Amino acid sequence: MRFEKLNENKIRVTLTNQDLKKKNIDFHSFMANPIESQDLFLDMLDIAEKEIGFITKNYQIKIEALQVSNGDFILIITRSVPETKKYLEKKRLHIKRKNNNLKNTDALYCFECFDDFCEFCSFLNKNFVKIFNIAKNISLYEYKNKFYLSFSNINLYYNDLKKIFSYITEFATYISNSDLVKRKLAENGTLIMKNNAIKTAIQHFG
């Protein structure tokens, strides 16, 4: 995490995917699960107080989160004087996410080999994790001896979303610049499975 004081009552925090991993928070669960995210925000406020003297006790807090092109997050944290005494007892968070595009509903993961992809699908099947309607399209590509699982139009309110994107990090690597890589896959990669690659793999290899 990197902290920068913008003015007396506002700071900017740069949060990377590595920071999320250290807190055992998956990228997509971070976007879809604000309750879990609040624990991370409270930790950040404590660090901000120690490192740059940004005290939030007895203040009302507003946090704006924006994903940038390299996959990192920019968090703008603003404090204001509370209107009532209820803010003297605990911190209250108002989290606002700026979703200016559809990048938050797309994801791309890289498997080192086809067996890793099959093991991931088998793991989901054995643990009875539902994969229906998680995304409009889930396709598998092969490119330079690696296999890429592409999710398009992810349903961020899907019940098992947190489980799936938590499990997948054990088998594959999240690709932050997914738009560029997806273009390369479309131009030079080989489409192995389309529409619902996970379901297809479970039916044939699960």
**Among 32-41, 45-54, 126-135, 143-152, whose mean pLDDT is lowest?**
32-41
- Answer whether residue 83 shows pLDDT above 60: no
pLDDT, mean of residues 79-96:
55
Question: What pLDDT is stored for residue 135 in this prediction?
Answer: 87
Mean pLDDT of the chain: 77
For residues 53 and 35, the model is more confident at: 53
119: left (phi over 0), alpha (psi -120 to 50) or beta: alpha
pLDDT, mean of residues 173-177:
80
Q: Kindly state the DSSP code that residue 31 receives in the 8-state scheme.
A: H
Is 155:161 a contact under the CB 8 Å cutoff? Answer: yes
Domain ranges of the chain: 2-100, 104-205
- Answer whether residue 95 shows pLDDT above 70: no
CA dist., res. 113 & res. 127, Å (int): 22
CA dist., res. 132 & res. 198, Å (int): 9
Question: What pLDDT is stored for residue 86 in this prediction?
Answer: 46
For residues 82 and 155, the model is more confident at: 155
- Is CATH 3.40.50.300 the classification given to domain 104-205? no
- The DSSP bridge partners found for residue 76 are 12, 64
Question: Over the stretch 36-55, which tens digit does the pLDDT of each residue have?
Answer: 455 677 788 888 889 999 88
Which residue shows structure tokens 């997806």?
Answer: 182
- Residue 22's pLDDT band, with cuts at 50, 70 and 90, is confident
CA dist., res. 3 & res. 204, Å (int): 49
Question: What pLDDT is stored for residue 99 in this prediction?
Answer: 40
Q: Which of 32-46, 48-62, 68-82, 86-100 has the highest mean pLDDT?
A: 48-62
Q: Please state the pTM of the whole predicted model.
A: 0.51
CA dist., res. 190 & res. 185, Å (int): 7
Question: What pLDDT is stored for residue 192 in this prediction?
Answer: 92
